[in-house]
Amino acid sequence: MFKKIHHVGVVVPNLEQAMAFWRDLLGLHLTKTATIQDQGVRAALLQAGESEIELLEPLNPDNGVGKFLARRGGGLHHLCFETDDVAKELEGARAKGIQLIDQKPRPGLAGLICFLHPKATRGVLVEYAQPFEE
């Protein structure tokens, strides 16, 4: 069961410049930043009411986010749903025949995460996240 939209992922060419808009001009509160080597991004989460905006700067032009930026420019990348049990949701998607990117949950900025393939979701990259306990 999904609890809410956890965040919307936005690809940016430069994280600091993007923060100047999202944090400094819009006034969104920065909640977390990290470099996530296995995903090849520098990322930041900013609070927007009960949801968040995740900014993603690629570390390498040849990874998935880097290719997205080169092909489409910066902008909306993915939609993330929050759940209490990401493994159960992933297994439910698999049982329904939904094409997956991740075969098992993995750590990410938003907690334990997994992605559904956009070919299965009419072109929208969908992420599930189970936030880590504080």
How many domains would you assign to the chain?
A: 1
Report the C-alpha gap between 132 and 3 in whole angstroms.
15
Report the C-alpha gap between 77 and 46 in whole angstroms.
16
What value does the mean pLDDT take over residues 19-31?
97
Contact 57, 10 (CB under 8 A): no
Note the pLDDT tens digit of each residue in 93-123: 999 999 999 999 999 999 999 999 999 999 9
pLDDT at 11: 98
Contact 14, 55 (CB under 8 A): no
Global pTM reads 0.93
CATH of the domain at 105: 3.10.180.10
- List the structure tokens of 40: 């090849």
Over 90: is that where the pLDDT of 3 sits?
A: yes
Q: Which domain holds residue 102?
A: 2-130
- Confidence band of 133 (pLDDT split at 50, 70, 90): confident
Note the pLDDT tens digit of each residue in 30-80: 999 999 999 999 999 999 999 999 999 999 999 999 999 999 999 999 999
